[in-house]
């Protein structure tokens, strides 16, 4: 065994392939750690950044330099800078800044400073979002206001104002309803801001007032200085006692660059698609080739070992399947199943797996059959039979060990075939569409490519290169294993 390993690792092609395989196995195994997303094609996992964002590191290229990255600021209560006006007391714990307001016009301002290098970027972020949870406890007759500001240098932008519905008529600027006495989520999306809900946009004039939601990132995140603040301000307007629990906000600037591999047309992370796709492709292709080789091995062994009529029948069946154009048949069957809704999406991977396995075992069968024929004629098998070795004994003691090289190589050779066929189906839209695979990444990406959205290389190149690398790795590993494990040297190429 040691010797086998040694001679394996002596081969450069095996070493490189092995390293590639290990790389993909590791990223598939740790996919859940590498990416927070479980299915980037799901609606809730889209739009994590601007669609078609190139990766962060692409800014080293001139055409992407100066683009703002996608940045997320997750503040904690320890970042909070608290100012008070009037009769106010406050405490902080790890989840909330808690203020007690008593008295008319008393006010609690909680601000979170952050820096954003706006002068360095050619563009403002495409959008931003701000989220926090809050609980405002009041008596029903108390008028209270929660105001949210973004402050750039000394200029502040009054984004939204939350007011209990009963009091909303008191204000000249737009307000939003404030639920009191219950924990609620405060969520501001820059794209959702308009002159009806945002005091700042309502204060603008002309077309800016109408397009506020689209413009607002570029109005705020531009120029010097680099110091910014998010400020949540709670104001007691009628003087009744108010307790305010304000969690630290999460601010996300959706830039034009994202992560390791950018985003696709949905604004989903290409990296997480790639990693999840790698996992799927590896699992499916290895499982399928195991089954393919299993079928081929069983039929080939039976035909080769039994010979005679059994062999004639099995061999004719194999020849029959060999004259069938399997790829078109696979595509057509898959397409019939999809078009007639005979299968649900969930089962698609299983259907593909079954169809490929049922239509691809013939080559293995032929190889195993002829190898079994040759082995059967070898003296040690004949001797074993003469000594009264049973069929099973001969099978497992003599045939299988000697076929090991071929079997392992065949498994390795089938993996690329399965990957390519499955990717082809996905590319055509007949395969898996509901979660990422390398094939459907290519499919979507090339569709967007021809839809003239520019060359989204960070999206279209990784899955293709992944397929090539993984396939070639399996091929070279298979060749190396065949050469090393075959007790009777088979001629190898390359």
444 touching other proteins, by CB under 8 A? no
**The residue count for the chain:** 494
Q: Which of 304, 301, 437, 414 is nearest to 360 (CA)?
A: 414
270 touching other proteins, by CB under 8 A? no
Residue 471 CB, nearest approach to other proteins (Å): 4
State how beta strands 127-137 and 144-152 pair: unpaired
340 touching other proteins, by CB under 8 A? yes
> Are 266 and 41 contacting, i.e. CB atoms less than 8 angstroms apart?
yes
In whole angstroms, what is the distance from residue 408 CA to residue 490 CA? 14
350 touching other proteins, by CB under 8 A? no
287 touching other proteins, by CB under 8 A? no
Quick one: which of 342, 378, 487, 490 contacts other proteins (CB under 8 A)? Answer: 342
19 touching other proteins, by CB under 8 A? no
Considering only the stretches 66-74, 247-255, 257-265, 334-342, report the one whose residues sit in contact with other proteins under the rule CB under 8 A: 334-342
Nearer Cβ to other proteins (163/338): 338
Burial of residue 461, with CB atoms counted within 10 A of its CB: 0-12 exposed, 13-18 middle, 19 or more buried: middle
How far from 360 is each of 317, 411, 433, CA to CA, in Å? 13, 12, 23
Chain-centre distance of CA 324, in angstroms? 37
Nearer Cβ to other proteins (144/355): 355
Quick one: which of 62, 328, 377, 388 contacts other proteins (CB under 8 A)? Answer: 328
Number of residues lying near other proteins (CB under 8 A): 42
In whole angstroms, what is the distance from residue 423 CA to residue 467 CA? 9
Q: Is the dihedral of CA 219, 222, 225, 228 positive or negative?
A: positive
Quick one: which of 8, 34, 208, 420 contacts other proteins (CB under 8 A)? Answer: 420
> Are 361 and 299 contacting, i.e. CB atoms less than 8 angstroms apart?
yes
Residue 321 CB, nearest approach to other proteins (Å): 9
Please give the residues from 359 up to 418 whose contact with other proteins meets the rule CB under 8 A.
Answer: 416
Q: Is the dihedral of CA 116, 117, 119, 124 positive or negative?
A: negative
Quick one: which of 39, 156, 335, 370 contacts other proteins (CB under 8 A)? Answer: 335
Considering only the stretches 36-44, 102-110, 259-267, 329-337, report the one whose residues sit in contact with other proteins under the rule CB under 8 A: 329-337
Residue 13 CB, nearest approach to other proteins (Å): 8
Q: Write out the two tokens for 416.
A: 């690329």
Quick one: which of 320, 350, 396, 488 contacts other proteins (CB under 8 A)? Answer: 320
In whole angstroms, what is the distance from residue 191 CA to residue 212 CA? 8
Considering only the stretches 116-124, 252-260, 470-478, 480-488, report the one whose residues sit in contact with other proteins under the rule CB under 8 A: 470-478
452 touching other proteins, by CB under 8 A? yes
442 touching other proteins, by CB under 8 A? yes
**Which residue in the block uniquely carries the two structure tokens 């992370």?**
269
Please give the residues from 226 up to 245 whose contact with other proteins meets the rule CB under 8 A.
Answer: none
Q: Which of 287, 288, 285 is nearest to 358 (CA)?
A: 288
Q: Which residues pair with 134 in a beta bridge?
A: 184, 246
Residue 315 CB, nearest approach to other proteins (Å): 12
> Are 256 and 413 contacting, i.e. CB atoms less than 8 angstroms apart?
no
Burial of residue 364, with CB atoms counted within 10 A of its CB: 0-12 exposed, 13-18 middle, 19 or more buried: buried
81 touching other proteins, by CB under 8 A? no
Q: Which of 170, 154, 152 is nearest to 235 (CA)?
A: 170
State how beta strands 250-254 and 71-74 pair: antiparallel
Residue 325 CB, nearest approach to other proteins (Å): 5
Nearer Cβ to other proteins (186/361): 361
324 touching other proteins, by CB under 8 A? yes
Residues near other proteins, by CB under 8 A: 13, 319-320, 323-325, 327-329, 331-333, 335-336, 338-340, 342, 416, 420, 423-424, 427-428, 442, 446, 449-450, 452, 455, 460, 463-464, 467-468, 471-472, 475-476, 491, 493-494
């Amino acid at each position: 065994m040691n010797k086998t390993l040694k001679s394996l690792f002596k081969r450069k092609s095996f070493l490189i392939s092995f390293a590639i395989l290990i790389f993909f196995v590791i990223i598939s195994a740790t996919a859940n750690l590498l990416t927070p997303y479980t299915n980037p094609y799901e609606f809730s996992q889209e739009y994590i950044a601007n669609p078609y964002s190139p990766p962060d590191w692409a800014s080293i290229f001139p055409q992407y330099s100066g683009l703002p990255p996608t940045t997320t600021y997750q503040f904690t209560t320890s970042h909070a800078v608290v100012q008070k006006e009037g009769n106010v007391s406050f405490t902080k714990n790890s989840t909330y800044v808690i203020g007690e307001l008593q008295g008319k016009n008393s006010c609690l301002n909680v601000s979170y400073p952050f820096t954003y290098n706006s002068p360095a970027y050619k563009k403002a972020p495409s959008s931003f979002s701000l989220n926090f949870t809050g609980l405002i406890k009041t008596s029903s007759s108390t008028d209270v206001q929660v105001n949210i500001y973004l402050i750039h240098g000394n200029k502040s932008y009054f984004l939204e104002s939350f007011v209990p519905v009963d009091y909303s008529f008191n204000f000249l600027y737009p307000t939003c309803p404030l639920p009191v006495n219950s924990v609620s989520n405060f969520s501001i999306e820059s794209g959702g801001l308009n002159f009806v809900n945002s005091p700042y946009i309502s204060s603008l004039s002309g077309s800016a007032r109408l397009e506020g939601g689209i413009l607002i990132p570029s109005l705020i995140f531009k120029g010097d200085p680099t110091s910014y603040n998010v400020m949540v301000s709670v104001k007691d307007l009628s003087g009744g006692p108010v307790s305010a629990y304000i969690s630290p906000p999460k601010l996300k600037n959706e830039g034009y660059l994202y992560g390791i591999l950018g985003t696709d047309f949905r604004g989903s992370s290409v990296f997480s698609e790639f990693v999840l796709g790698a996992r799927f492709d590896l699992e499916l292709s290895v499982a399928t080739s195991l089954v393919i080789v299993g079928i081929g091995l069983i039929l080939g062994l039976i035909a080769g070992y039994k010979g005679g009529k059994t062999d004639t029948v099995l061999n004719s069946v194999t020849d029959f399947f060999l004259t069938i154009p399997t790829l078109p048949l696979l595509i057509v069957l898959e397409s019939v199943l999809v078009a007639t809704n005979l299968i649900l999406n969930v089962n698609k991977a299983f259907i593909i797996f079954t169809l490929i396995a049922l239509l691809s075992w013939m080559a293995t069968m032929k190889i195993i059959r002829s190898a079994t024929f040759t082995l059967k004629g070898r003296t040690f098998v004949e001797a074993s039979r003469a000594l009264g070795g049973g069929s099973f004994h001969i099978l497992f003691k003599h045939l299988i060990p000697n076929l090991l090289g071929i079997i392992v190589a065949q498994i390795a050779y089938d993996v690329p075939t399965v990957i390519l066929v499955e990717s082809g189906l996905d590319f055509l839209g007949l395969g898996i569409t509901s979660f990422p695979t390398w094939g459907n990444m290519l499919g979507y990406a090339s569709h967007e490519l021809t839809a003239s959205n520019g060359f989204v290389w960070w999206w279209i190149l990784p899955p293709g290169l992944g397929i090539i690398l993984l396939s070639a790795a399996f091929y070279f590993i298979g060749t190396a294993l065949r050469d090393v494990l075959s007790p009777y040297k088979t001629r190898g190429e390359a």
